[in-house]
Structure 1
C-alpha cells in the first residue's frame, strides 16, 4: 500500500472535499481524484460517497481512517527515532486550552525554547473536546486539557488544580446564592469547552436553566465584556486574579462542589516519547512545580 495515497486519503477525509484537499496539497483536483480512485481499486472498496456538497466516508473509509492514521504516525515516529540525536530537535506540536496557555504555560514555553532551539515547536489552542480529538488522531503529541478524562487510548498526568470562580463587573452586586444568577446573561467559550460544561452543570443542578448564553471565541473578549457589564462568566481564579487586583472585575466564590477543576496533560499510550517530547514534559514538571 502506497503511503502517499494514504496521506492524500487522510487529508480528503479531514477536508470532506476534493477541491479543498487539492488546494491544501497544491495538487490538481483531477490528480487527487485519481489517487483516491487508485487507492479504492487497490483495496477493492469504495472509500467515499460523492455528493454535491463534497465527499463523505463510507463504512470502509471510516475503518481505513483509523488504520491510516496509525500507519502514518508510525512512519513519522520511525523517522524521528532513526533521526533522533541526543539533543532534542524536530517537530513538537502541543495543544492547550487557551486559559492555560495564557497564564500557566508562557514560562514553560520560554524556558523550553531557550534550552532547545532546534525543536520546531507549535502550539494549538482550543477547547478540551477538540484537543482530545487532536491527540487521539495523532495531530498533537499531547495536550493540556481539563479533567476528569477517561479514555482507554490515553495516558493522563495531573498538572495543576484550579479554583473556579464566577466573574462579574466591579459594579455587579455580591452574588450570595445561585438564585442571584437568575435571568443573567452568561458569557461562554464555544461548545466543547470544559468551563462552559461545568457552568451548565452548575446552572442545571441549581434549577436555573434556561439562561441566555453569549458565545465568544477568545479569553480577552470575554473578560472585556464582563468588565463592561455585559454578563457573567466562569473562569479559573488564576486567569482572572490580576484583572481583579486592577479593579477590572470582581470574583465570586462557588460552592465547593463546583469550584475545583484539574488541568491534565494527556497523550496517546502508543505515542513515541521522542527527546523533544521528553524534554518538554520535564520542563513542564519543573516550571509548574517551581511556580
Structure 2
C-alpha cells in the first residue's frame, strides 16, 4: 500500500465522485479509478458503494478512513520533525474568537519578523475552534478559557472583564428581564457565562438573537434591539460617547481569560514555537 493511495482514497471520500477527486488532485479519472480498485484489492473488501450520484463509503471504508487520516497526519508530523528548518516558514492556520484585543499586535510583530510564514486566520466561537484544533484542521486557536482537555495545551494570553451593555434607556438590571439577548452562536464562552448568570438569577431571557460579528451586536445594542455581554475594553468608546449603558455583573461571571490552545501531541515546529513566543511577549 502506498501513501498516495490513501491520499486519493481520502479525497474520493470527501468529494463523493471520481470526477471531483480527479479535478481536485489534477489526475486523470482512470488513474483515480485504478488506484481505488487497487486499494480495494489490497484490503480485500469494497470501500465504496457506487451509485448514480457518485460514491459513498461502505462500513469498511469508514473504518479505513479513520486509520488513513491518522497515518497521513503522522506522516506529515514525521516530515516536519526531521526536515524542518530553524527559521519559521510555510503555512500556519490559526483560529480566533472575535474579541481578542491584543491579536493585531501579536500578528503584526510575528509577520514582520517571519516573512516566509503564510499565516491564515479563521474566526469562530470557542466550542467550534476547540474541535477544529483537536481534528488537526487548525494549528492553534485563541479561545475563551474552558475546561481543560487532555489532548490540548493552553497558553494564557490575557484576562478580560465582560460587561452587560444596553442602550441608554435601560438604567437597571431589573429592566433587563424584558430584553432580548444579542450574542454569537452556541459555543461562545461569553454567551455561556451570561447564561449562567440568568440561571442563577432564576431568569429566562425574552429572546436570544444570534449574530455573526461583534460589530453587528454592538450596533444592534445601540439601536435598542437587546442587551449584550461583551469585553469592556471593546466598548469603552461607545460608553464615552453616551451610546450605551454598562451593567456590571459579579466577578464569577465577568472575569474571563483568553488562551491560545494547540494539540499536545503534535510536533512543535519553529513556526508555531515562535508564534507562541510572540503571544507571550505581547
Do residues 124 (structure 1) and 119 (structure 2) align? Answer: no
Q: Structure 1 residues 111 and 43 mapped into 2: Cα distance closer, same or farther (>3 Å)?
A: same
1:174 aligns with 2:171: yes
Q: Secondary structure at the match of 1:160?
A: strand
For 2:208 and 2:155, the matched residues in 1 are separated by: 32
SS state at 1:166 partner: strand
Cα offset, 1:273, TM superposition = 0.8
Superposed, which structure 2 residues align to 1:120-269 within 5 Å?
Answer: 120-169=118-167, 171-177=168-174, 180-209=175-204, 211-269=206-264
**Structure 1 portions without partners, runs of 5+:** none
Q: CA deviation at 1:159?
A: 2.0
Q: Do 2:45 and 2:60's aligned partners in 1 also have CA atoms closer than 8 Å?
A: yes
Query: How far does residue 217 in structure 1 lie from its aligned partner after superposition?
Result: 1.0
Aligned CA RMSD, in angstroms, stands at 2.9
C-alpha distance in structure 2 between counterparts of 1:128 and 1:51, whole Å: 39
Q: Is the 8 A contact 1:149 1:156 kept in 2?
A: no
Stretch of structure 1 that moved more, 265-274 or 191-200 = 191-200
The structural deviation recorded for 1:111 is 0.7
Using structure 2 for the length normalisation, give the TM-score: 0.85
Retained in 2: the 8 A contact 1:80–1:90? no
Are the structure 2 counterparts of residues 270 and 93 from structure 1 closer, same or farther at C-alpha, using a change threshold of 3 Å?
same
Deviates more, 1:268-277 or 1:257-266: 257-266
Encode CA deviations 1:165-213: one digit per residue, 9 max, x unaligned: 11212x2322334xx3222111111222222222222223322225311
Match of 1:108 in 2: 106
Match of 1:75 in 2: 75
**Partner Cα distance (1:49, 1:263) in 2:** 45
User: Structure 2: any 5+ residue segments left out of the alignment?
Assistant: none
Q: What SS does the aligned partner of 2:137 have?
A: coil
Q: Deviations over 1:105-150 (max 9, x none)?
A: 0001001011000111111111111111111111111111112232
Hey, what's the Cα distance between the residues in 2 that align with 1:91 and 1:203?
Answer: 42
Q: Measure the CA separation in 1 of the matches of 2:162 and 2:29.
A: 49
1:183 to 1:286, Cα distance in 2 relative to 1, 3 A: same
Spell out, residue by residue over 1:81-123, the C-alpha distance to the aligned partner (whole angstroms, 9 max, x if none). 34422221111111111212xx220001001011000111111
Higher-Rg member (1/2): 2
How far did residue 218 of structure 1 move? 1.2
Matches of 2:84 and 2:142 in 1, distance apart? 25
CA distance in 2, matches of 1:32, 1:269: 35
